[in-house]
Structure 1
Amino acid sequence: MPPQQQQQQQQQQGGQYAVPQGSIGGGPQHPQQQHQGGQGPYGAAFQPDFGAWGINDATAQLGMQLGQSAVQAGQDYVQKNFGVIFPSTTVKHHFNVSNSYVMHKIKLVLFPWLHKPWARRTRRTEHGQHEWQPPRDDINSPDLYIPAMAIVTYILLTGLHAGLNGPGFRPQILGESASRATLVVLFDFLFVKLGCYILNIQGSSQFVDIFAYSGYKFVGVIFAIAAGFVGIGGALWSVVFVYAFLANAFFLLRSLRSVVLPDPSNSISSSSGATTTATVNPAQRRRRITFLFLEAVLQIVYMAALVRLPTA
């Protein structure tokens, strides 16, 4: 009888557990005997046993490949349809702010008469093209941080106002305030975007810039609401509100100029590679200036709708 069969027979008769080769006390085990199949993604070999679930291996592999293809197709669709509207690089650019920028920008929105100059700065990229400097480096650059924080602050202030000036606080007030703020920003954005389309106004990152400028009005609205919290009312509060409107209107007149009447000396390349041209004839210039004044005047309607706070 061969030696291996004799050893197995002795172990079965003695009730002893056979120590496999390569375990503790045994010799080294061959890698192919230690792990069956290919190496997994974490260094350990793992091959899912689809047969245990009654699934054919070929069918399971085909299903996994179809799932991966579907996920990749979904990512490509989102990037193709929404990446142009909300490109990640553009959004990151508008959130590139600092504490110093935020403080100076709020001061600029509330006291725009004290600010000069209003032209936006550009910088040269590694490929020799020009692009707008981020808000951190240019006080005249629009950002999304202040509008987003101002909208959130406005919603919280409306809830606080309702709790202090009524029988109690209702959570629905926050939803109503958020809906009102969203509608105001949406109407303002659509009006400016429609005007840019009719007047054939094109520019790089124009979509996000208009959204940013539509949100700065909440800084003036918060200023007017805060005046009511400190006890200012009646005719004096009306003066505060009119000042907030005039400040926001003047700020938009000077800031939106870079979108509606861009500086011919600045040639900015858009994300699609097209260059923004700023050659307009006198008739187009008059129409664009009229559009700017109309957008500034409409701010009093938007801000009046926002300061009409609900009560509980």
Structure 2
Amino acid sequence: MPSLIGPQYLDLTNGSVVDKVTPDMLHLIHPYWNRFAPMDPLMTKILGTFLAMAGVLSFFGNVCDIYGMLGSIFGCASIWTMCMIAVDRFEVIVKGVAGRPMTVKLAVVKIIGIWVFSAFWTVAPMLGWSRYVPEGNLTSCGVDYLTQDWNPKSYLIAYTIACYILPFFLICYSYWFIMAAVSAHEKAMREQAKKMNVKSLRSSEDANKSTEGKLAKIALISISLWFLSWTPYGILNFMGFFESDALTPTISIWGAAFAKAGSSYNPVVYGISHPKYRLALRERFSCLVCGKTEEPVKSEISSEATIKEQETST
């Protein structure tokens, strides 16, 4: 009877688990294992995947560090992505032809810049500038906002300025001047309508709705949702910063909850609510369209173009 020990490399359904052992390792294998058939390939893949993930975690640190890093990088990237959307709208609406047009190259540069910037603030705590620790509810991790040393405090101040105050200012600044520009344009259209002795340059009752009102609503929703998403977490951080006794494990849950909820309604506000996005969605995935997708009224477009030409000539 041939021996079942050794590198015979038989089919996986024959022999024992030791058949796959190379000669230089054979003397280390106890005869006890000769009685067992080779493991199922699927189980080998599952265990291999698990061990690979465990190896990655052991290299980068514990699970709390990974959780904190992921929350930080995706949160910061989300904040600055919304900020860049507002700035792009500012360039198109306020500056018009004088603004820098959005190209594929510029979009890629901005996206890469956002993620590099976010990665810096994410990796900093892993390199010794502050650290990731469990929060009061012990179900999530974030930056250390309770330790009263200057190291974590300086990071918290810098992070708040770079990833909250600055983008919030840019968003408010952009929408303020967008509303001002649209208001001025609407006024010019009304004056032109008076000169032409018509009630309005718009051709339908639906189009008669004030563009100013629509834009004001979009701006208000965008800024409010942004503020609602990230302000609670910022307040929690500074409650710890100033050693407030009002900070409890239950309260600490809400900061992360509001911040994570932003990933749910941001796509609705910045994507599905955008007319051009809905038009593109109707062409490719009509079953997913939400709301109206009518093309802009042609006469309205021509009227607005006439106003722009007159404004340019004057």
TM-score (norm 1): 0.24
Q: Per chain length, whose mean CA-contact separation is higher, i.e. which structure has more relative contact order (CA < 8 Å, sep 6+)?
A: 1
TM-score (norm 2): 0.24
Q: Which has the higher helix share?
A: 2
